[in-house]
Amino acid sequence: MAVKVKVHVLQHVPFEDIGSIAPWLEAHRAHVSYTRFFDDPAFPQLNGLDLVIAMGGPMSVNDVPALPWLFPEKRFVRSAVERGIPVLGVCLGAQLVASALGARVYRNSQKEIGWFPIAATLSATNTFRFPEKCIVFHWHGETFDLPSGAVRLAKSAICENQAFQIAQHVIGLQFHLETTPESARALLDNCGDELVPGPYVQTESELREVPIAAYVKINSLMSKVLAYLTRTSV
């Protein structure tokens, strides 16, 4: 990035931060601001922003009565998309993008928590291309329909819409490529009660024993997603 890029992060809970995205932004001299909804649900002006990143969280995008800031957040995300500002949604963030654009978000047939494969789907040549198959980190119980105009980029055995893209500037990821060993531990410490046994839910011991190499691989893939959205080098 020759010129300092302005990035705004929507963070929903203290224990789900941007993980490996932080050093990437620092290396590319980005100016980073935050809306931390657990502290102050205020939004910046969209003018001048070069990238909006909507992160994860244990809540649902359908929890507007209990979490009224979800309504202006969806409006903020929709406005960013409509203005052509690059937007990256991660897990809850991807569901927010889908919901903001009129798609349905609902409970998935199974919870998906742990390291499971995704498969790239056939898509246009002008979209981000995932590896044909790769193992990524999941932590979700809901899924979404594709919003209008979206192209599916990846799926898994129990979740048809794992990643999508809209035009050249919006990518939604149901899974987590930004996860580091530290952020995985934070999830386990704060959401470990969600590890109810199931065919696609790994145990706490399995999750705590994942080798560093697995995180390096997904973090590298996240760098490629960021480079694609910001039109810069990895």
161 near 167, Cβ under 8 Å? no
Distance separating alpha carbons of residues 18 and 33, to the nearest angstrom: 12
Distance separating alpha carbons of residues 31 and 7, to the nearest angstrom: 6
38 near 61, Cβ under 8 Å? no
User: Quick one: tokens of 50?
Assistant: 């070069």
Distance separating alpha carbons of residues 1 and 230, to the nearest angstrom: 8
Residue 158 DSSP one-character state: S
- 26 as an active site residue: the answer is no
Distance separating alpha carbons of residues 21 and 38, to the nearest angstrom: 20
Catalytic residue among 28, 91, 112, 169: 91
User: Quick one: tokens of 108?
Assistant: 């998935």
- 191 as an active site residue: the answer is no
Catalytic residue among 28, 138, 140, 176: 176
Residues in a beta bridge with 150: 166
Q: Pseudo-torsion of CA 35, 41, 43, 49, nearest 10°? A: 20
Active site residues: 91, 176, 178
